[in-house]
Structure 1
């Protein structure tokens, strides 16, 4: 039976959190100097790139929840200079996105979300905003992944999307994250 669009968004939210977990866990193997070191990318370091993912996640997740945080989300472009602090903060916003997607219904996908842009209010359908958010995360995680390949830490696999070949590792990580296959894929 094909998954519903709602279940697809839920799976994307879980996969997003899993990829963030894997990438930040790998980055924990870097020294602080390596994490902050200048590198080639849209943002000048792993630290800046991964903090950018976090602050934009805050911006959009807040809007999806009906909040009005707006551009103050990125007032501090690097709110978490260390990997450990960033990992905890990213996990918290990832849990919020998962909770939001868990509460979705087919009817709510067409709802209009108001996004505080400070000088204007953007209105966007919820499904389109979620697609944009997931694409943004994938785009910048790919850049961070490439930057990590310039270090002594091996970049983790991020494109398995819970594939069967990753089952033993996935089961271990799911235990760490408090997840189950049923939570990700539904009944």
Structure 2
């Protein structure tokens, strides 16, 4: 079922990988800075972002990498985050292209009902929200991230 949603996930993967590339250049102090109103430090937010993305994939497929990021208490490093981001990002693209998004999911141990399309929308929204939080954390330190918005994505597509 083609919905056009896969393009959103292609953008999401591009933005996630671009964010990881930029953050890999930061110092420990920059990665560990926090502020009220954000999820946590850059490291914590990245781990949460990609653990959640694995969870969205699990909602559709029933599978997750071993061990799931959500079970790890320490930062796994940028190479591992990139590998996992590529995996979950590509899986979400495939899901958007091939799955019936009108399917009903029973989440949180069956206590919460939502259509698959809502889970897909949440995955996009969640990524944008946390990338923005990281951008805020870094901008307060005088660090500017590369463009992660749709205009930056369009420019990247045009450069190919």
Aligning the two structures, in what range does the TM-score lie when normalised by the shorter sequence? 0.7 to 0.9
Q: Kindly indicate whether structure 1 or structure 2 has the higher relative contact order, using CA contacts under 8 Å at least 6 residues apart.
A: 2
Match of 1:129 in 2: 119
Shift of 1:73: 6.0
**Which has the larger Rg?**
1
Stretches of structure 2 lacking an aligned partner (at least 5 in a row): none
Match of 1:98 in 2: 93
**What SS does the aligned partner of 2:83 have?**
helix
Larger mean CA deviation between 151-160 and 51-60 belongs to: 151-160
TM-score (norm 2): 0.81
Match of 1:150 in 2: 140
Match of 2:38 in 1: 42
RMSD: 2.7
1:112 and 2:78 are equivalent in the alignment: no
Stretches of structure 1 lacking an aligned partner (at least 5 in a row): 172-187
Count of residue pairs the alignment pairs up: 157
1:58-103 per-position Cα deviation (integer Å, ceiling 9, x unaligned): 112101124599xx76343x55342332222222211221221232
How far apart in 1 are the matches of 2:64 and 2:106? 9
Q: Is the Cα contact below 8 Å between 2:50 and 2:69 reproduced in 1? A: no
**What SS does the aligned partner of 1:134 have?**
helix
Match of 2:14 in 1: 18
1:12-56 per-position Cα deviation (integer Å, ceiling 9, x unaligned): 110100010111111011123421233444222101111111111
How far apart in 1 are the matches of 2:69 and 2:147? 29
TM-score (norm 1): 0.71
Taking a change above 3 Å as real, the CA distance of residues 166 and 63 of structure 1, as seen in their structure-2 partners, is closer
